[in-house]
């Protein structure tokens, strides 16, 4: 009888062990921390954009993952089609034309455009495309500028995020022929 009870106990322990999740030792570093989790982004800045009449036009988040920076944009109320999307040198968005935001953010003094062999500005971003509903969203990689890019983005006069009426042609210096400024927001530290 004791033998049968011991056998039943061992079977129960074996069954419980089989139900527990398997652990892969390669997912842990020397201190036992799990390394299988995906890296996480930290929000380091945000901008709330508005149209010239003050209507809210969406938000942009500046994200950092190590030294890599990206912008995540979610816009509304933008005319259908492609639009130039840039970071501008001054964190000021005075309507109706938003020229108070200055030119494109360009701390390295490059020429404009992703297709320009002498380009591009830090503020040169890919075009955003709004659907028929006026919505546009995108995540744009700024690369691994790290601390120097953060310093440029949050310098004494700040940075503005601007959406233009037309598409950026990615070549023409200094603005890419992107047309007038239709939405603007000041990038603020999170």
All domains of the chain in start order, with CATH: 42-189 (2.60.40.200)
- Would the pLDDT of 44 be above 70? yes
- Would the pLDDT of 8 be above 90? no
Task: Tell me what the mean pLDDT of segment 124-147 comes to.
Answer: 89
- Would the pLDDT of 183 be above 90? yes
What is the SS3 assignment for 134? coil
pTM above 0.85, yes or no: no
Question: What percent of the chain shows pLDDT beyond 90?
Answer: 54
Which two three-digit tokens encode residue 168? 């950026």
Q: Are strands 136-143 and 124-130 parallel, antiparallel or unpaired?
A: unpaired
Confidence label for 42 from pLDDT (cuts 50, 70 and 90): very high
Distance CA 29, CA 110 (A): 42
Q: What is the pLDDT of residue 180?
A: 96
Least confident of 25-34, 67-76, 135-144: 25-34
Distance CA 102, CA 47 (A): 17
Q: How distant, in Å, are the alpha carbons of 15, 118, 120, 154 from that of 175?
A: 68, 14, 11, 22
The segment with the largest mean pLDDT, out of 3-12, 151-160, 165-174, is 151-160
């Amino acid at each position: 009888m004791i033998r049968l009870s011991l056998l039943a106990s061992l079977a129960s322990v074996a069954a419980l062990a089989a139900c527990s999740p398997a652990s892969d030792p390669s997912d842990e570093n020397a201190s036992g921390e799990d390394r299988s989790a995906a890296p996480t982004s930290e929000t380091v800045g945000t901008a709330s954009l508005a149209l010239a009449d003050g209507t809210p036009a969406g938000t942009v988040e500046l994200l950092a993952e190590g030294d890599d920076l990206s912008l995540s944009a979610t816009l509304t109320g933008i005319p259908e089609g492609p639009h130039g999307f840039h970071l501008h040198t001054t964190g000021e968005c005075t309507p109706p034309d938003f020229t108070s935001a200055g030119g494109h953010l360009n701390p390295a003094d490059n020429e404009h455009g992703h297709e320009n062999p002498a380009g591009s500005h830090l503020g040169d971003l890919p075009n955003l495309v709004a659907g028929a509903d006026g919505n546009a969203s995108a995540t744009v990689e700024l690369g691994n500028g790290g601390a120097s890019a953060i310093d440029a983005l949050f310098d004494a006069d700040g940075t503005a995020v601007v959406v233009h009426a037309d598409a950026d042609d990615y070549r023409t210096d200094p603005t890419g022929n992107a047309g007038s400024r239709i939405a603007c927001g000041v990038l603020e530290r999170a």
